[in-house]
Amino acid sequence: MTGFLFADNTGMILGIAGAVVVLLLVLWWMRRGATTTTDAERPEQKPTEALAAPPVEVSTSSSVSDAAKGAVATVGAATASAVAADERVAEAPEAVAKPPVEAADKPEVKAEVAKADAEVAKVDAEVAKVAPAEPAPRPEPTPKPEPVRTVRDGLGKTRKEGFIARLGSLFASKKTIDDSLIDEIEEVLFTADIGVKTADRLLNSVREAVDAKSLSDPKEVWKTLRSEARAILDGATDTRGTLPKEGEPKVIMVLGVNGTGKTTSIGKLAHRFVNEGHTVQLVAGDTFRAAAAEQLEHWGRRVGAKTVRGKEGADPASVVFDGVESAVVEKADIVLVDTAGRLHTQKNLMEELKKVRRVMGRAIDGAPHEVLMVLDATTGQNAIQQATMFNEATDVTGIILTKLDGTAKGGVVLGVCDALHIPIRYIGIGERVADLKDFDGAEFVEALFAS
Ligand SMILES: Nc1nc2c(ncn2[C@@H]2O[C@H](COP(=O)(O)OP(=O)(O)O)[C@@H](O)[C@H]2O)c(=O)[nH]1
Ligand SMILES: [Mg+2]
């Protein structure tokens, strides 16, 4: 078999063997050739130089120079260049900081870093020179404080146009006291808005002084009138109202005719109490109009007091009950209860007012601790009538006399105090929150009779 294979395929075997030899020769040649070319063509590499010169250092320093030049050119350009420089400089320290150890140690690298630092400092200096100074934050414009209105200001009209002014001109024209002066005083007093009772009282005091002291100087009569007015006001200082029990809120009910200034006065009072550090709750007992509750809520937001309100048309007694009860839960210090305005002649409404007053007592025993009646001074003598009727229905403990600033009828204060002996607690002398003043008889008389 072998002989057969050998005999028949000798040529072929020889051919294959030859081919293998040639192939081996070619492979050897190729391997040799490749090795030679690689080595020959590889550039000589000095590792330190390749890593040593990060181009960023150079570009940084030149960019910084450019930025510096731009900075001095114009203010706007300076700012822009400075920003650009800043950005580049921000990158530079990192690039400078992270070269391989060998590179960083090289003196030329250190020199470049120092140069870059110097350029950065230069740019900073240039920018500081030309950049517009950072505008100082503008202080909030402080609202111009409104001048504080004094009681004297508030009584200006009464003093200049009211009965006091008329009395004043009488005395100015008389050198001596005679019967005609007394008659004229009588006429002024009885046509003033102080009521008949008070006019009578003042006139009697003048007559008595003239008779008993044989006064001859009209100025003495003026003094007499003044001290009698003071006596009337001092006579109306009965302590009324009650104090709340320890830990319970003080409830103040506010009532009066429509438009007298109840809601406004509540707002002013709430402002005052909040400023004194009290927690105040408002109760919108005027359920006749939605606008009334909104007006009160507005005040509440303005002064920082919570407002409890019901739906329009709701039973005012139940809204007030809920409001007073919730003030206990909320641990409020003071509750101010607004009520719907009503005429003192409207019997049903006066009954409703009594009911509202009663339910407060159910929510807190002893409430309301104060009942403040609001009187509009511009109504003159009618205020005395109103005060009398409201007092009968609700046991008023104090009076707020509003709108003294807008009237010459300020003398009504004397009439109210003389007729009811109810103390005037506050006076309204304007619409602003600060225009509600504590009533002080001495100050009032001083302001009323001031020349
Ligand atoms: N000039 C002046 N206006 C006042 C004073 N008190 C209240 N008012 C104004 O009187 C109007 C009626 O007040 P408001 O509180 O709504 O009366 P309410 O119906 O009794 O609640 C409003 O325009 C108030 O600004 C005051 O003392 N002086
Ligand atoms: Mg009101």
The string of DSSP codes covering 363-384 is HSTT--SEEEEEEEGGGTTHHH
> Which among 253, 258, 264 is the best mutation to test ligand 1's pocket, defined by most ligand atoms within 8 Å of the CB?
264
Check residue 50 and give left, alpha or beta (phi > 0: left; psi -120 to 50: alpha): alpha
CB hemisphere CA count around 140 (13 angstroms): 2
Tell me the C-alpha distance between 409 and 155, whole Å: 9
pLDDT at 273: 97
**428: Cβ below 6 Å to ligand 1?**
yes
Query: How far apart are the C-alpha atoms of 291 and 307, rounded to whole Å?
Result: 14
Indicate the top mutation candidate among 336, 353, 424, 431 to test ligand 1's pocket, ranked by most ligand atoms within 8 A of CB: 431
- Exposure of 100 in the CB half-sphere (CA atoms within 13 A): 10
Q: Ligand 1 centroid to 399 CA: how many Å?
A: 15
Residues 6+ apart with CB under 8 A from 82: 67, 71, 123, 126, 127, 131
State the distance from the centre of ligand 2 to the C-alpha of 265, rounded, in angstroms.
9
> 261 in ligand 1 pocket by Cβ < 6 Å?
yes
The bound ligand whose nearest atom lies closest to the alpha carbon of 256 is 1
70 lines ligand 1 (CB under 6 A): no
Q: What is the pLDDT of residue 124?
A: 64
CA 302 – ligand 1 centroid, Å: 16
Query: Which residue lies with its CA nearest to atom 19 of ligand 1?
Result: 259
Compute φ and ψ for 315, nearest 5 degrees: -65, 120
Binding site membership of 430 for ligand 1 (Cβ less than 6 Å): yes
pLDDT for 202? 95
Distance 329 CA to ligand 2 centre (A): 26
> Which amino acid type is present at position 121?
A
Q: Which ligand is nearest to the CA of 285?
A: 2
What are the CA-CA distances from residue 146 to residues 141, 269, 432, 434, 435 (Å)?
Answer: 14, 19, 10, 10, 11
Taking ligand 2, which is a single-atom ion, which protein residues have CB atoms under 5 Å away? 262-263, 292
Q: Is 386 in the pocket of ligand 1 (CB under 6 A)?
A: no
Torsion-angle region of residue 234: left (phi > 0), alpha (psi -120 to 50) or beta? alpha
Q: Using alpha carbons, select from 292, 298, 371, 287 the residue that is nearest to residue 335.
A: 371
The rounded distance, in Å, linking the Cα atoms of 248 and 333 is: 7
Q: Which of 226, 332, 340 is nearest to 290 (CA)?
A: 340
Q: Cα–Cα distance between 294 and 169 in angstroms, integer?
A: 47
Token pair for residue 80?
Answer: 């822009």
Report whether residue 365 contacts ligand 1, using a CB cutoff of 6 Å.
no
Does ligand 1 lie within 6 Å of residue 195's CB atom? no
The structure tokens listed for 315 are 């039973």
Cα of 339 to ligand 2 centre, how many Å? Answer: 7
Q: How far is the CA of 68 from the centre of ligand 1 (A)?
A: 68
Residue whose CA is at the smallest distance from ligand 1 atom 7: 261
How does DSSP classify residue 400? E
Query: For residue 390, what are its two tokens?
Result: 């409201």
Report the pLDDT value the prediction gives residue 261, as an integer from 0 to 100: 96
What local confidence, expressed as pLDDT, does residue 1 receive? 41
Q: Which of 359, 340, 360 is nearest to 350 (CA)?
A: 340
pLDDT of residue 418: 92
* SS3 of the chain: helix, strand, coil, percent, to 5: 60, 10, 30
CB contact set of 424 (below 8 Å; sequence gap of 6+): 233, 236, 398, 399, 400, 401, 413, 416, 417, 439
Largest CA-CA distance found in the chain, in angstroms, rounded: 183
C-alpha radius of gyration, the chain, whole number: 50
Task: Indicate whether residue 407 lines ligand 1 (CB < 6 A).
Answer: no
CB atoms within 10 A of CB 279: 17
In 3D, which of 66, 94, 86 has the Cα closest to residue 128? 86
C-beta 406 within 6 A of ligand 1: yes
* 374 C-beta neighbours (distance < 10 Å), count: 28
- Which stretches in the chain have pLDDT values below 50? 1-7, 33-102
Dihedral sign (CA 351, 353, 355, 358) = negative
- Ligand 1 binding pocket includes 369 (Cβ within 6 Å): no
Distance of CA 259 to the CA centre of its chain: 27
Closest ligand, as measured to the CA of 342: 1
Spatial distance between the Cα atoms of 192 and 203, rounded to a whole number of angstroms = 12
Give the pLDDT confidence score for residue 252 in this predicted structure.
97
d(CA 329, CA 248): 10
**DSSP β-bridge partners for residue 253:** 337, 371
